[in-house]
Amino acid sequence: MIKRNTVQKIKIMEYLKSTKSHPTAEEVYVEVSKEIPTISLSTVYRNLNSMAEDGDILKFEVGNEAHFDADIGFHHHIYCKVCKRVFDLYDKEIANYIKENASIPNFKIETTNLIFIGKCITCIPVEKVAAANSESNEIEDETPVKATTDNKNRVKKEKAVKNTTAKRSQPKKQN
């Protein structure tokens, strides 16, 4: 069967290539409908699934939602269960370790597709940021420094509120 390269499919691919957010079909629909107002959500779903089946894009499920990625090169994903963002992880050592050490009877592993689930640097407490940074692999995100600063500011505000509350709750000295 010959696959047509429709305007809808081209715009969907252009959007996927322009973002690193690993959008859901609904998010793709919102963005693509800005350029093609007549496109339907079912058309977006149909095209995304077709493109994934053809190997043009990646489709993976995390957080009970399908996410899509135009980067079909070797990489894994990290999912923050708090903010629901997905990050790319480029680390061949993990996949090589699994391929070399996994023992599955009657099966030969050719490739891996891992999704790590946890909390991103923005969502973990500041005290753990340094530890997470020192142990982190190559996570592609454009805002880790800002995220750390935001967390530090949040913690400072929380401490200030606690100190103010603690001072108010202390009994006054009587003369």
What pLDDT does 94 receive? 86
Q: What is the pLDDT of residue 108?
A: 81
Per-residue confidence at 2, pLDDT binned at 50, 70, 90? low
The 10s digit of each residue's pLDDT in 29-73 is 999 999 999 999 999 999 999 999 999 999 999 988 999 999 998
Q: What is the pLDDT of residue 6?
A: 92
Is it the case that residue 151 has pLDDT exceeding 60?
Answer: no
CA distance 151 to 158: 10
> Of 17, 9, 76, 56, whose CA–CA distance to 36 is shortest?
9
| Model confidence pLDDT, tens digit, residues 68-117 | 999 998 899 999 999 999 999 988 888 888 878 888 889 887 777 889 99
Name the burial class of residue 155, with classes exposed (0-12), middle (13-18) and buried (19+) by CB atoms within 10 angstroms of its CB.
middle
Count of CB atoms within 10 A of residue 9's CB? 19
Q: Per-domain residue ranges for the chain? A: 7-122+136-141
CATH node for 7-122+136-141: 1.10.10.10
Element (H, E) at 119: none
